[in-house]
Amino acid sequence: MGEQHHVKFPQEVIDEYAALGIDLVAMFSAGHLGTRMGVQIVEASSDRVVGTMPVEGNTQPYGLLHGGASAVLAETLGSVGSMLHAGSSKIAVGVDLNCTHHRGVRSGLVTGVATPLHRGRSTATYEIAISDESGKRVCTARLTCLLRDVTPVDAQQAAANGQAN
């Protein structure tokens, strides 16, 4: 669960990070929380990030997909898009997340698609549409990330988490 074996990255992004010795799969993964929740990133570019998450294991007491789980999927996908937009010299830090939950889901897989609304030098905003297996919208989210320069502490933390080779 949470493995990132089939992520499609643009070749120029692969080349940029490989030159720095950074493992793209680890850097742009769902992280520890997303891994526990079964988030899979299947496509990633600054123009579009697609990921999936199982409903099973991510429900609230009534058996419906937990709104917080949708928020985790949304923030993961929007953050990946923001990081890819910003490039290797910056990191994306979520500063605002808004989620509107449209319908409940009890089983299956949900798919999120993040597309940019704004891509600037210091912030990026993505809209994330989460749908069930029949294509019905479950949640619409908007994430704004602050794009800040990588610091030595950030680089140390990435290395400690196994994100740099």
Round to whole Å and give the CA distance between 109 and 58.
11
Helices (H), the chain: 11-19, 24-27, 31-37, 67-86, 152-160
Q: Judge whether 75 counts as a catalytic residue.
A: yes
3-state SS class at 73: helix
CA angle 143, 30, 84 (to 5 degrees): 60
Dump strand ranges (E) for 3-157: 40-44, 49-54, 90-101, 109-119, 123-131, 137-149
Q: Which residue among 3, 12, 16, 75 is the active-site one?
A: 75
CA distance 164 to 145: 22
Q: Which residues are catalytic?
A: 75
